[in-house]
Amino acid sequence: MTVEAGTTRLGPPDAGELLTLQLAAWVREGRTAGTIEIPPLQEGLADVEAALADPAVTTWGYRGPTGRLLATVRTSMIDERTAFVGRLGVVPDLIRQGIGGAMLRLAESRLTGVSRIELVTGIHSLDNHAFYARHGYKIVSADEAEGTVRLAKNVHLIE
Ligand SMILES: CC(C)(COP(=O)(O)OP(=O)(O)OC[C@H]1O[C@@H](n2cnc3c(N)ncnc32)[C@H](O)[C@@H]1OP(=O)(O)O)[C@@H](O)C(=O)NCCC(=O)NCCS
């Protein structure tokens, strides 16, 4: 599975579609966490627009043949050599077909000058832990109060 052909960088005009994808994709995560009070489900249109307008954040969107927004992921830098990958989401009707993995690989491949990648997911989201483990990430810390774990992987530095 590759998403290269259908993936573009999203911007503020895509905010409505991205909000819809975000709300749909994260409901399952909210169920697992036992709360809908998680950031992807709390944000509104203005928050999504602001993230898309932030030059420090790169948001990728994958569209299917009809133009429908099917998946997203975003990246930013924590420090000079460490990237953060976040908001990896796939529309609920198309999960488990390899799109999420392909989006993660695409986001990683577009990073430059990076030797470490970190991300955060729910402490109880065991499916996500397995998914990220398969992509080489290991849990490095847990925040019981926040209900999250941080995962990281070291990567070969690409200049
Ligand atoms: C996490 C998420 C992005 C994964 O996306 P996805 O498209 O389902 O990912 P993939 O299909 O690449 O992989 C998921 C699993 O399906 C399996 N799979 C992949 N292709 C498959 C296929 N053709 N048939 C059956 N299973 C398949 C993979 O083996 C993988 O299993 P694993 O979790 O044990 O590694 C998606 O479930 C999602 O949007 N979740 C809600 C938001 C969220 O929690 N995001 C992550 C936290 S930031």
In testing the pocket of ligand 1, which one of 1, 60, 95 has its CB within 8 Å of the most ligand atoms?
Answer: 95
What are the structural domains, with CATH classification, of the chain? 7-158 (3.40.630.30)
- pLDDT per residue over 1-19, tens digit each? 999 999 999 999 999 999 9
**pLDDT score of 31:** 93
CA of 19 to the centre of ligand 1 (A): 20
pLDDT tens digits, one per residue of 13-38: 999 999 999 999 999 999 999 999 99
Per-residue pLDDT, 94: 98
What is the predicted pLDDT for the residue at 156?
Answer: 85
User: How does DSSP assign the chain, residue by residue?
Assistant: ---TTTEEE--GGGHHHHHHHHHHHHHHHHHHHT-S-SHHHH--HHHHHHHHH-TT-EEEEEE-TTS-EEEEEEEEEEETTEEEEEEEEE-GGGTTSSHHHHHHHHHHHT--SEEEEEEEEETT-HHHHHHHHHTT-EEEEEETTTTEEEEEEEEEEE-
Q: Is residue 61 lining ligand 1, measured as CB closer than 6 Å? A: no
Residues 6 or more apart from 3 whose CB is under 8 A from it?
Answer: 62, 71, 99, 102, 103, 106
Compute the distance between CA of residue 58 and CA of residue 50 in angstroms, rounded to an integer. 12
What pLDDT is recorded for position 3? 97
117 lines ligand 1 (CB under 6 A): no
* pLDDT-flagged residues of the chain (< 50): none
CA of 131 to the centre of ligand 1 (A): 6
